[in-house]
Amino acid sequence: MKKVLLVAAAAAISMGSFSVQADGGAMYNNLGCSGCHGAGGKSVVPSYPSLAGKDAAWLVQQLKDFQTGARKDATMNAMAGMAAGHEQAIADYLAAQ
């Protein structure tokens, strides 16, 4: 058991450079963003914009603008609040899709 834990820890450390992306992807799915914006940010519904491959800094700014109300959309004003603290990780994930 101890050995298994050590191997898992080593694997987690060696994957360090990917962890932000993985976390962002998990957040994106767990918060339900994928329900509208599609798997990996590739929307299949015209009324929901695709987010895949968009500039990360721009994505972060949109989420902050939705949070403050500077950008208005009833759905996103609510959803962006759920992403608080994870904007950058989610944006990095989406930009890399």
Contact predicate 31/79, CB 8 Å? yes
Compute the distance between CA of residue 52 and CA of residue 97 in angstroms, rounded to an integer: 5
**Least distance to ligand HEC, CB of residue 53, Å:** 11
**Least distance to ligand HEC, CB of residue 19, Å:** 19
Q: Would you tell me which residues interact with ligand HEC (CB under 6 A)?
A: 31-33, 35-37, 47-49, 51, 59, 62-63, 73, 75-76, 79, 82-83, 90
Of 25 and 76, CB closest to ligand HEC? 76
CA-based diameter of the chain, in Å? 52
Q: In Å, how far are 13, 62, 87 from 54, measured between CA atoms?
A: 28, 11, 13
Of 40 and 83, CB closest to ligand HEC? 83
Compute the distance between CA of residue 64 and CA of residue 50 in angstroms, rounded to an integer: 18
Of 15 and 53, CB closest to ligand HEC? 53
